[in-house]
Amino acid sequence: MNTATAAAKTMTRTWQSLCIRADLVPFSGVAAWVETTEGPAQVAIFYLPGYDTELYALDHHDPFSSANVIARGIVGDLKGQPVVASPIYKQHFRLEDGQCLEDESVTLRTWKVSFKGDEVWIEA
């Protein structure tokens, strides 16, 4: 994808309501459908209550197994960076930017998420 279209798509992202706090599982992930600029996507939402950044959203699709499972991975930190480990082949993905730590060429898409009161909103 060239930078022009990437920029265009980023610009058209809009905030939408996704779910409520009670749908989340602390220190773990859940999956949700989100209508993105690139069409409907399965998104994994991770919730770290009490941390600087409490919410993260990444692709739910695991590029190594081609299964939709990322939300079911174990959340942890490696060298000070929050990560999720794919439950199938155990690669780690940085929650911040989706970068795979084992394979530089692989990155999951990420979205901005935040609480608005008790609701979870995502920019997609």
Partner 1 sequence: MSTTSLTTKQSLIIIGNGMVGHHLVEQLVEQGATERYDIVVFGEERHLAYDRVHLSEYFSGRDAASLALSTRGYYTEHGVTLHLHAAVTGIDRERSEVITDQGRHPYNRLVLATGSTPFVPPIPGSDRENCLVYRTLDDLDAIRAAAKNATTGVVVGGGLLGLEAANALRGLDLDTAVVEFAPRLMPMQVDSEGGGLLQEKIEALGVQVLTGRVTQRIENGEASFHRMVFQDEKVLETDLIVFSAGIRPRDELARDCGLEIGERGGVVIDDRCLTSDPAILAVGEVALWNNSIFGLVAPGYQMAKAATGTLLTSSSEPQGGTFHGADMSTKLKLMGVDVGAIGDAHGDRTPGAKMFRYLDEIKQQYRKLVVSSDGRRLVGAMLVGDNSVYDTLLQYYANGLDLPEDPAALILPSSEGTPALGPDALPETAMICSCHNVTKGDIRATLDAGAVDLGTVKDSTRASTGCGGCTALLKSVVDHELEARGVKVDKSICEHFHYTRQELYDIVRVEGIKTFGELIDKHGSPDTHKLGSSSAPMLGCDICKPAVASILASCFNEPITDAAHIPLQDTNDTFMANMQKNGTYSVVPRVPGGEITPDKLVVLGRVAKKYELYTKITGGQRIDLFGARLEDLPAIWGELIEAGFETGHAYGKSLRTVKSCVGSTWCRYGVQDSVGMAIYLENRYKGLRAPHKIKFGVSGCTRECAEAQSKDVGIIATENGWNLYVCGNGGMRPRHAELLATDMDEETMVRTIDRFLMFYVRTADRLQRTSVWRENLEGGLDYIKQVVVDDSLGLGAELDSQMQTVVDNYECEWANAIKDPEKLKRFRTFINDARPDPDIIVTEERGQLRPA
Query: Can you give the binding site for partner 1, defined by CB under 8 A?
Result: 18-19, 23, 25-28, 30-33, 42, 45, 48, 50-53, 61, 65, 67-69, 72-83, 85, 87-88, 90, 92
Closest separation in Å from C-beta 15 to partner 1: 15
Fill in the DSSP letter of residue 24: S
Q: Compare residues 79 and 116 and give the one whose CB is closer to partner 1.
A: 79
Closest CA to 96 of 50, 35, 38, 52: 52
3 state DSSP class of 22: helix
The token pair that represents 107 in the structure block:
């990155």
Query: Measured from the CB of residue 50, what is the shortest distance to partner 1 in angstroms?
Result: 5
* Tokens representing residue 45 in the block: 């939402």
Q: How far is the CB of 47 from partner 1 (least distance, A)?
A: 10
